[in-house]
Amino acid sequence: MGLSPKGPLSTSKLGWQELDKALKLFITKTDSMMVLNPDDYEMPRSEIINELKKNGYSIHSDNGSGTFYVGA
């Protein structure tokens, strides 16, 4: 079967709707985690973290690369 050809790449940043979809897709169990790179989003890092915490997600920072882990 194989892979389909790579489509065109987007240069625009993502918003709340895309982040919400990603969280629903990847955070499906209590031990689920996903890597989040705030540079991919139009919102500031602090605003993303505050909104995640407000909605019950856990934040696990890595060692300074800018990305962090989000868990249930």
Q: Rounded to two decimals, what is the model's pTM?
A: 0.77
Residues 72, 65: Cα–Cα separation, whole Å: 22
CA nearest neighbour of 17 among 54, 51, 59, 67:
51
The pLDDT value recorded for residue 72 is 82
Q: Given the structure tokens 């882990």, which residue do they identify?
A: 69
pLDDT greater than 70 at residue 63: no
pLDDT greater than 70 at residue 62: no
* Measured CA distances, 18 to 5, 23, 45, 62, 69 (Å): 23, 9, 15, 22, 17
pLDDT in tens, 10-19: 778 999 999 9
Q: Given the structure tokens 């079967």, which residue do they identify?
A: 1
Count the Cβ atoms, other than its own, within 10 Å of residue 28.
10
pLDDT greater than 80 at residue 40: yes
As a whole-number percent, the residues of the chain with pLDDT over 70 amount to: 96
